[in-house]
Every structure is written in C-alpha cells, then in structure tokens.
Amino acid sequence: MKRPIALFTLFLMLIVFCVPAGASRLPAEELPARSVPAEVPASQQEWEVLRIANAERMNEGLLPLTMFAAMQAATDIRALELIELFSHTRPDGTDCFTVFDEVGVNWSSVGENIAAGYQTPAAVMDGWMNSPGHRANILNAGFKHIGVGYTYSQNSEYGAYWVQLFCTGWGCSYSSFEILGEADMSTPVDSLGLAGKFTCGEGPCYMPLTAAMCTGDVTENGVRTLTFTCFGLTASVSFDGGAPLLGDVDGNGAVDISDAVLTMRCAMGLITLTPEQFARANVNGDNSVDISDALLIMRMAMGII
C-alpha cells in the first residue's frame, strides 16, 4: 500500500476546501475502545475522528462540532467517490460541495478535508493537523457541524479513504441537550462512551461527551451523577450501582482506606453512620459495626481479601 497521500487546501469566498480523503472499515483490532450509542449515525472510526477533532478545537478554546444524519449521508457519498477519484472534484465533474444539495443541507459556509492511506483515526487526524490547510478547517471557529466518512476498499489504490465535511447553517442554534449511553460506577468519563444529543435547526445532532465537558461527577449513596455543560446547555445522567458494595462506607464506588477509617471511628463511638453507611460497613453480617468490620475493610482495601 502506498504511504498516506499529501493534503492540501483551497479557499473561495465563504467556502473552505481541503484535500485529504475518504472512508473505510478497519479490522476489529484497529477499532477504538469507546462504544458508539446505537442512535448515533457514525461508525466507531468516524466517531473517534470527531472526538479527536473536538479535543483539538477545545484545546484552542473553540466550541466542539456536532454531526447529524444528513451530513453523515453526504460523507458516505463522498467517501465512496474518493475511491474512484481522489479529488475535491466529484466523478461527475462537479465540485465536492454539490453533495450538500443532494442530501438537503442548507449552508452559509462549508469545507472539506480528504485523506487516503491512513490506517487509524489517530493517524489521519495527525496528518490533517500537521497540514496547515486541513488544520485551518478543523480549527475554523465559524464551523458548527461536521460529517466524518470512512471506507475501505481492498483493491483500491490507497485502501482506506477518509473525508470530513464542515458546515454552518443559517442561524441555527441548539435548543435541547440529552445524554445517550450507559456507564458504571467507576469508569473514567473519557472511557464511558457517552454521547450528547442536541436539537438545532438541522434536527438531532450528536457528539462524544468527554471529561473536558463534564462539570460534575458526584457519587452519593451508591448513585453516580454526571453533569455536562455544552453550548450553554446542561444535562445530567445518574447511574445506580445496584446492590450496595460491602465495605464502600462513603459510597464512592470503591473500597479504600477512607472506608476503613470511617468504620473504625464508628466502632469507637466517634461518629454515627447513616443507615445506608451502616449496612455497607457491616461486612461480617453480625448487625453491628465494630473493630472486626474495620479490619476486614482494611484488608479489602489492601487487596488481601
């Protein structure tokens, strides 16, 4: 396979053009670890490109981008076209932005990045970010939405093809925010695979939710509540840990030294535990909280038992 193709950019009025390419499906071992909620119109590779692009934007103090179904339909078309003709000109001779008309996207400014030969989302994003024109598209403060396409053609010249389409609509703004996906009590926010679903003039829009967007992560009484703030909107989601975790006296989802200290202080009569804390501290099941419970919790925290 040839090495990744060079990238380039063209500017015209409000339109921003960039050249790196298309779309593809990588082997399973190459897929990002994060899951993609079923409602999101993107593959894992495409979702990971968006996550990295938004991290780059937020590092520069810019708002993240969201994707929506019509934009994804446009990138699906362009990704397949790149296999036939790796160019911002489509195989029918029209420029790449005519694809927006095909899928019904109204825009005030648009851009395209294409790339070929890169084998992972991280690799293609690194290529784009090290190309001034493509980097300018990704970090364009005027863009609001993105479509990401990826396809793989084994018998093609470059194998993997990637495309990013950018656009800004006419005065669309976000009016609602909800959180998609599931989590557990202890997984770090960046590994949860949560998605934000927003409503704007284009309909439902989506983006990965990350720790940089998280404004609250609180666990109380076995319930973890995550709060995210994006585009001036706030949404929260809570996860019940199910049955109380014995030994987790402070309810933070883990058994550690602080739980042993709380249990010891209760056994010494220095503090009074809530009924929920008492149930988690009573690890030996004798309906009392004493020194033996504190020692058991200490051993649990140390990984001995």
Please tell me the predicted confidence (pLDDT) of residue 19: 38
Looking at residue 289, the DSSP 8-state letter turns out to be -
Q: Return the half-sphere exposure (C-beta side, CA atoms, 13 A cut-off) of residue 175.
A: 8
Percentage of the residues of the chain whose pLDDT score is greater than 70? 88
Helical packing angle, 257-267 and 291-301, nearest 10°? 180
- The predicted pLDDT at position 296 comes to 92
Distance CA 63, CA 54 (A): 8
Q: What is the structure's pLDDT at 22?
A: 34
Which strand (E) or helix (H) includes residue 195?
strand 195-200
pLDDT in tens, 71-130: 999 999 999 999 999 999 999 999 999 999 999 998 999 999 999 999 999 999 999 999
**How does pLDDT run across 133-170, given as a tens digit for each residue?**
999 999 999 999 999 999 999 999 999 999 999 999 87
SS3 content of the chain, % helix, strand, coil (to 5): 30, 25, 45
Written as six digits, the tokens of 59 are 């590092």
| b/e per residue 20-59 (b: at least 16 CB within 10 A) | bbbbbebeeeebbebbbbeebbbbbbbbbbbbbbbebbee
Which helix or strand (DSSP H or E) is residue 5 part of?
none
pLDDT at 165: 98
Q: What is the DSSP string of 21-47?
A: -------GGGS-SS---TTSSS-HHHH
Mean pLDDT of the region 170-184:
88
The amino acid present at 8, given as its one-letter code, is: F
What is the predicted pLDDT for the residue at 15? 35
**CA–CA separation, 83 vs 5, rounded Å?**
13
For the segment 27-38, the average pLDDT, to the nearest whole number, is 59
Instruction: Give the model's pLDDT for residue 250.
Output: 84
Q: For the segment 224-273, what is each residue's pLDDT rounded down to a tens digit?
A: 999 999 999 999 999 886 666 789 888 777 899 999 999 998 999 988 88
* H/E run at residue 153: none
Of the listed ranges 178-182, 184-188, 210-214, the least confidently predicted one is: 184-188
> What Rg do the C-alpha atoms of the chain give, in angstroms?
25
Q: How far is CA 111 from the centre of its chain?
A: 22
Asked whether the predicted pLDDT for residue 18 surpasses 90, the reply is no
Residue 175 has pLDDT above 50, yes or no: yes
At residue 10, what are phi and psi to the nearest 5 degrees? -135, 140
